Amino acid sequence: MSLKIYIDGKLYDKEDAKVSVYDHGLLYGDGVFEGIRSYAGKVFRMAEHLERLWDSAKVIWLKIPLSKPAMAKAIEDTLAVNGIQDGYIRVVVTRGVGSLGLDPNHCSHPQVIIIADKIALYPPELYEQGLEIVTVSVMRNHPAALSARIKSLNYLNNILAKIEGIQAGCVEALMLNHKGEVAECTGDNIFLVRQGRLLTPPNDASILEGITRDAVIGLAGELGIEVREIALTKHDVYIADECFLTGTAAEVVPVVKVDSRVIGDGTPGPMTRRLMTRFHELTRS
């Protein structure tokens, strides 16, 4: 059965789901999006994802043509019609069809697209063995140019970093901000464990405020683990006892080597495993 894609209130077969070549989302990356997970047919942290989507849209002067309850229903309906239980939902809001010029006032109306599908970011063995990442030269966008807190359709910053990481033989890459501090990876937030504390860059370090990141911080609090959101450098990463990444698609994935330096004993650490287990329980029980 062909997947059904939601576009502006209607469902289309995947093969027939099309947007105009004049849509400013295509022409200029002018729009916002969210990646959301579903577990056992239930959308994970819907309210938080929609809040972030609306925040991103507001900052770029984009008015979403649905209410939050209507968007939530559209997401749930798209998930249900495709019969997906454990899946991935991509919600896209573009500026809409316009002219070849930049002026968004020439666009007709914002367009809402919802795709429900499956995704596997990393193979299962990497969750058991851990992955290797590399710091790349492509830095995070300066917040005065384009804030990382906006989940915009223009992901070229991340894509260029991803390419550099792949060319270095790594499936994920670590990006620094304009201060030379640790920001995040191309699609995931980063956490370190040092002397029993959980460390992660703060929101003003040019990071996306990850939904899974916030969930893990909450789980750590429940487990009595001290969490510190502080500025971090590559030095902090290299001397960490443990390291792991979080993201909607990745969930919680351990890192055992950074820039050819072994983290801890080179295997996923006990706190990482504990949080992986708790996140699995949170989403699947």
Taking the domains of the chain in order of start, what are their residue ranges? 4-117, 124-284
**Active site annotation includes 18:** no
Would the CA dihedral through 33, 10, 249, 228 be positive or negative? positive
Cα(263)–Cα(242) distance, rounded to whole angstroms? 6
Do residues 193 and 240 make contact, with C-beta atoms less than 8 angstroms apart?
A: yes
Q: How far is CA 113 from CA 64, 81, 116, 121, 191, in A?
A: 11, 15, 10, 22, 32
Give the right CATH number for 4-117 from 1.10.287.110, 3.20.20.70, 3.40.1180.10, 3.30.470.10: 3.30.470.10
The confidence score (pLDDT) of residue 174 equals: 98
Please name which of 208, 194, 174, 280 lies closest in space to residue 240, comparing C-alpha atoms. Answer: 194
Would you give the distance in Å from CA 86 to the centre of its chain? 17
The confidence score (pLDDT) of residue 257 equals: 98
Residue 268 per-residue DSSP state:
-
Which residue out of 18, 58, 151, 162 is catalytically annotated? 151
Residue segments in the chain with a per-residue pLDDT below the cut of 70: none
The confidence score (pLDDT) of residue 120 equals: 78
Cα(51)–Cα(56) distance, rounded to whole angstroms? 9
Cα(214)–Cα(189) distance, rounded to whole angstroms? 10
Look at the block and give the residue holding tokens 């970093």. 161
User: DSSP for 160-171?
Assistant: HHHHHHHHTT-S
Q: Which fold has domain 124-284?
A: D-amino Acid Aminotransferase; Chain A, domain 2 (3.20.10)
The confidence score (pLDDT) of residue 183 equals: 98
Look at the block and give the residue holding tokens 């911080």. 217
Cα(164)–Cα(172) distance, rounded to whole angstroms? 9
Residue 14 per-residue DSSP state:
G
Look at the block and give the residue holding tokens 């209130």. 9
Element (H, E) at 94: strand 87-94
Cα(177)–Cα(139) distance, rounded to whole angstroms? 6
Q: Return the amino acid letter for 121.
A: L
The confidence score (pLDDT) of residue 285 equals: 73
